[in-house]
Every structure is written in C-alpha cells, then in structure tokens.
Structure 1
Amino acid sequence: MTDQLKNEYDVVVAGGGAAGLSGALMLGRARRSVLVIDAGTPRNAPAEAVHGFLSRDGINPAELLKTGRAEIEGYGGQVVPGEAVAAAREGERFSVTLADGRQVFARRLLVTTGLVDELPEVAGLRERWGHDVLHCPYCHGWEVRDQALGVLGGGPMALHQTLLLRQWSADVTLFSHTAAPPSGDEAEQLAARSIKVVPGEVESLEIVDDHLTGVRLHDGTVVARQALLVATRLMARSALLTTLGLETTAHPMGVGEYIASDEAGLTAVPGVWVAGNVTDLIAQVSGAVAGGAFAGAAINADLITEDTRLAVETHRERNHD
C-alpha cells in the first residue's frame, strides 16, 4: 500500500490502534474512502498478548494490528505511518495536518488516539510495565494466578482493585504507599478476605533475572512479590482534539481525563467522532474494537444523510430548470 496521500477522503482516522482500525474496517466495507494515520505508539505495546478477546485470546498486540491493517487495505482503505498534529474545519470539510507537514482533507474525522498511562514515581515500575507490573486483572490476572501478588495503593481505586485481585490469588498484599492504611469497614473487608496491608511508602521494585521478586519500602523492608497491580492515571491523548476546541473531562471515578462523546462517539464538534480509550478510559481491546465499529457505522450514516440532502438539492435544481 502506498504512502502517497490523496487530497481528500470521506473519513480520516487519527490513530491506528484497535479502535481506529475497527472504525476504518467498517467504513471501508461501506465503500467509503478512508485514511488511517498511525503514530505507531499503541498503549499495549509492552504486553506480550491480548487477553479476553473472543477468538483472539493470546494474540500478540502487534500481530493483531498487522492483521487489521491488511483487512482494511483489502477493502481499499489506506494506512500510513505518521502523526496527526492539528485539524481545523474549512467550510464543509476538515483539514488534517501531519507532523511532517503533509495535509489532507476529510468530510469527517474519527479520532482514536488512545491514552497515556501516568505511572507513580516508583523506581522499576516503568521497566516492568506490561510484564509483571500490571494494570488490569481481567487482562492479565489469569497469567499471574496463585502467585504472590501486590497492589500499589494511593489512588481512589485501591480498595476495589485489591478486593478484585483476590479472585486470582489467595496471597494478596496491599501496599498503602502514599495513602493512610485502610480503617473501619475497609480494613474489615480486607481482613475478612485474608489480604495483608503493608503501611509505608514504596521506594522501588526488586528485580532479579528480569523478574519482579519484591517491593522495597523507604525503610528498607522488602516484601516478596511476583507481580504488582498498579493504578495509573489515565490521560486521553487529546492534543489533536484540542486544536478543534475540545477539552478533556474528569472521569467520575477519579481515574483520569477523557474526551466526552455521545453513545456513538460523536463529540461536541459536529463531524468529529472519537472511539477507544480516548473517550472510554477503561475499555479493553475488545471494547475498543466495538466502539470503533459503532463510530464507523454512525459516521457512514451521517454521510448518507448528507449525500441524500445534496442529491435532493441537485434533483430539485434539475426539475426547476
């Protein structure tokens, strides 16, 4: 597939992850001209496999995207490497500017730029991220079942995550980290599930032979653990959308910021849709795929409405003559 861009497309998709490719696939099958601009920085790149995705459980993330790109190109869609850095409405269409200076136009935009995980400042977290430092039990809990597991506290979801992780192992420890240790009903719930609580701030992770072996506190104490669940701050990659006047909204659960949209992904800017983690912070890959497909279908329906309106105007002009 050529990287040579056409001047205009029905739809430009900014973001080549699961949501963007899914939306492009739906649009390609609807015989729309579609361009996917892929920055090549998927959130799940460090992970070895995608889990919980029916018929694709265990597939490598890169392989999933490679398959998706080939499917889109099979329907005439175009996927090019690059980053969309700015967009603006120009009359009845949008201009999209890439980081390398190229510019294309589109009747509609679908933005699926995902999110960024902001990790706590603990030495070793980033290095082990996606391996034995995890963010989602549903994504990776099975792979660490029955191991010695930990939860890094300090965030609004710490208790929920700790009780959740107990489903995969009987050996779970909550590190209160920057927060006060749980008390009252919360402490009772943890005790009832035989979950240990370790007070004190976490300083670093102990890594031996490229594996997590323990969690070190500021006082030097090391608690042996084989995997650690960490709640990151989830921040939508919103720079492109900001150029269109859209701003992020604080998530009601306090986990980060996202771009608001209606149930089909339409934003407050007419003609601009979003899908995947940029608008649904807790969506797994399967949810992102569904969101992308839903948005793609909604965009096609919107274009049909416009095509019909234009056809009616032309029809009336001809009859009037």
Structure 2
Amino acid sequence: MNVFDVVVIGGGAAGLAAAVTLGRARRKVLVVDAGSPRNASAGQVHSYLGREGVDPRELLAIGRSEVEQYGGILASGTAVGVERVSEFTLRVTLADDTALDARRVLVATGVVDELPDIPHLSDRWGRDVLHCAYCHGWEVRDKTIGLIAGGAASLHQAQLWRQWSDKIILFTNEAVELTALQRAELAARQITVVPGHVTGIEVTNDELSGIRVGDRVTAVQAAVVFPVSVAKVDDLLAELGLRAEEKEMDGQVIGATLNADPQVGATAVAGVWAAGNVRGHRAQVIDAAAQGGLTGAMMNIDLVNEDVRRAVAATSFSAEMEREVDVSANPDTAYR
C-alpha cells in the first residue's frame, strides 16, 4: 500500500499533465517538485491555446489543483537518486533522505539554460535577454535586437529572428567565422554584423540599452543568445546507468538531454520514462504539457499490461496449487 503507481519527478507542465492523466486513470501518483521551473524569470506563457499570455506561476497553480482534484499528491523536495529495489519497484530518494517507492518513475525535470559568460547578462534573462523567437518574438517585434553568437547555429537564429524585426544586429563574439556566402545571406536580409568579443551589456532605467564590444557600445533594445540547455539528470539516474547525451547543431553543442522513445517517452531502463524539456529542450510549454499527457497515458497502458501478467501468474499459481491438492488426494487422476 505504500508503493505508488508512479512517482513524477518535476512539477512543470510535463510532470503535472502526466499526473492529471494518470490520476484520471485512477493511478496512485505523487509529484515531487523542486520549485525551480525553467521559465521562472518569464512573465508570460505564449502559444498555449486557451491560456495565451498567462503568468507561468498561475498556469502551474492551476495544474497543481487539477492533479489534486484527481487524487494526486504533491510534495516539495529535490530528488537526488533513483534505484531499483525489486523486480517491480523503483525507489526515488529525496535530498532530505525521504524514500518513495513506485512501480514507475517519470523524469520531467526539464533543463537548465547555461548562458554565455557575459557580465550581468543573466540578470536580464527572460526579460530582455531572450532565446526563443516563438516565445518572445512578438513582444519585441520591430525593436532593435542584438544577437550574440555562440557558434554556427546562431546564424540560423539570426535569420529566424529577422521574421520579427528588420533591425537585427549579429555580434559574432569571436564564436563564428563567416564565409562569403553567409555574409551575402546576412546582407541580403539587411542583418548588420558587428565583429569582436562581447564584453558586457548596458542597462538604462532598468531596460537593456546596448551591447558592448571593447570600448564600443551598440544600441539595442533586446538581446538574443543561444544557451546550452542541459538536463541535469546524470547524478539522479547514475544508479540506473542513464545520463544526458550532448546534442549538436552545425558542430555547436546546443544542449544535453535524456534519450527516450520520441513517441511514448520510455527510456532504455524498464520502468523509467521521460517527458518535456528533459528529453528535448526545444519543447515549448504547450509541447511539454502534450508530451506529459501522452506519456502518462502510455505509462498507464504499461501498468495495465503488468497488471494482466501478474494477475495471470497469480491465477495460474492458484490453479496449480489446487491441482496439487487434487493429485495428493487421488494420485490416480494425476495424468488423466
């Protein structure tokens, strides 16, 4: 009775959506939430149908109440380890040494965005230092946007952001050497190129006002970076042999995420599943929620299949025991 059907590690959109689906399937579910969502510094969630512009804290509060509505349990804490303790049971250990046993574990811990090492840049993260055009592009449309390169992948980023403004400035930041073709492509779209190493940003009246290269400050109203988005799961899943694997784009490391079945979310370790940014950092909030809902349903199916196997095994065992009693009472009937 103390074993949960599913322990969900992570109380973001993916984890909560999975918990709702599992709760509605009458599963015993507990969600462990460390309280550090990726979008904590953002003021709004965008492209979420029916909730456009909602405060991310409000969205999570709604999700938590829905989990509880279907009998789910919410617990504050940080999961520090997952191990197998029996054929059918996994154990999640929290930082305070609490142990939670479950038939299945869903890892929905998201990613941590590692920003360029530029003074004061992180202070503006999610406000006017941005990374996702679909998350923030509309809000800075037609503004002067400075894109700080982190590698070759930033060239695609520059061309993408050009969709929202015709005032895009690419700071090469000594991270990319432009070919003649790339310079031609940038020029054709009127994207200005500023060479040199970015040494800082300027803030005026609590608003980003410029990007510094050496002694020169170029006026901008928003900055775009290409963070390395890392799923911090290696210590958590070390006992199971699971770890985040680096992902590259144009030779540039853009993140490290947990490999899982792209359709249902099952990992290579039986009983351990993944959903949301932890298995793909590009997922927006609505994508993470959709992944969580689908993965929760697939986990329930997996549990149903196990329930069937165990029920059949128990029935077969009982039948065999009855047969042995009959045989001992009348040996002559044993092989009829």
TM-score > 0.5, shorter chain as reference: yes
Change over 3 Å in CA distance of 1:258–1:156 after alignment to 2 = farther
Deviates more, 1:229-238 or 1:176-185: 176-185
Q: Does residue 1:179 correspond to 2:175, yes or no?
A: yes
CA contact (8 A) 1:156 1:255 kept: no
Q: Report the Cα offset of residue 180 of structure 1.
A: 4.2
* Cα root mean square deviation, aligned: 1.1
Change over 3 Å in CA distance of 1:252–1:200 after alignment to 2 = closer
Q: Report the Cα offset of residue 130 of structure 1.
A: 0.2
Task: Please tell me whether Structure 1 or Structure 2 has the larger radius of gyration of its CA atoms.
Answer: 2
Q: Does residue 1:82 correspond to 2:81, yes or no?
A: no
CA contact (8 A) 1:86 1:98 kept: yes
Q: Report the Cα offset of residue 319 of structure 1.
A: 3.2
Q: Report the Cα offset of residue 56 of structure 1.
A: 1.1
Structure 2 unpaired stretches of 5+: 323-336
| Structure 1 counterpart of 2:35 | 40
| Paired AA for residue 102 in structure 2 | A
| Paired AA for residue 311 in structure 2 | A
Q: Report the Cα offset of residue 70 of structure 1.
A: 0.1
Question: How many aligned residue pairs are there?
Answer: 315
| Structure 2 counterpart of 1:256 | 255
Q: How does 1:24-103 map to 2 (within 5 A)?
A: 24-91=19-86, 92-103=88-99
The whole-number CA distance in structure 1 between the counterparts of 2:196 and 2:150 is: 11
Give the 3-state SS of the residue equivalent to 1:306 in structure 2.
Answer: helix
The whole-number CA distance in structure 2 between the counterparts of 1:154 and 1:275 is: 27
| Structure 1 counterpart of 2:319 | 319
The whole-number CA distance in structure 2 between the counterparts of 1:186 and 1:17 is: 39
CA contact (8 A) 1:181 1:199 kept: no
Deviates more, 1:262-271 or 1:71-80: 262-271
Could you list the runs of 4 or more consecutive aligned residues of structure 1 that deviate by over 3 angstroms after TM superposition?
none
| Structure 2 counterpart of 1:203 | 199
Q: Does residue 1:302 correspond to 2:302, yes or no?
A: yes
The whole-number CA distance in structure 2 between the counterparts of 1:313 and 1:284 is: 43
CA contact (8 A) 2:9 2:31 kept: yes
| Structure 2 counterpart of 1:112 | 108
| Structure 1 counterpart of 2:16 | 21
The whole-number CA distance in structure 2 between the counterparts of 1:54 and 1:192 is: 35
| Structure 2 counterpart of 1:3 | none
CA contact (8 A) 2:131 2:225 kept: yes
Change over 3 Å in CA distance of 1:30–1:180 after alignment to 2 = closer
| Paired AA for residue 260 in structure 1 | N
C-alpha distance after superposition, 1:212-246 (max 9, x if no partner): 0000112x100000001110011112131233210
C-alpha distance after superposition, 1:146-204 (max 9, x if no partner): 00111001323110000000000010000000224422111111000000000011111
Q: Does residue 1:285 correspond to 2:285, yes or no?
A: yes
2:148 to 144, 149, 152: 152
The whole-number CA distance in structure 1 between the counterparts of 2:248 and 2:290 is: 22
| Paired AA for residue 271 in structure 1 | G
The whole-number CA distance in structure 1 between the counterparts of 2:18 and 2:24 is: 10
CA contact (8 A) 1:181 1:197 kept: no
Structure 1 unpaired stretches of 5+: 1-5
The whole-number CA distance in structure 2 between the counterparts of 1:318 and 1:121 is: 66
Q: Report the Cα offset of residue 261 of structure 1.
A: 0.7
Q: Normalized against structure 1, the TM-score is what?
A: 0.96
| Structure 2 counterpart of 1:189 | 185
Identical aligned residues as a percent: 49
Q: Normalized against structure 2, the TM-score is what?
A: 0.92
Q: How does 1:215-254 map to 2 (within 5 A)?
A: 215-218=211-214, 220-238=215-233, 239-253=235-249, 254=253
Give the 3-state SS of the residue equivalent to 1:69 in structure 2.
Answer: helix
Q: Report the Cα offset of residue 29 of structure 1.
A: 0.6
The whole-number CA distance in structure 1 between the counterparts of 2:248 and 2:170 is: 24
The whole-number CA distance in structure 1 between the counterparts of 2:100 and 2:187 is: 59
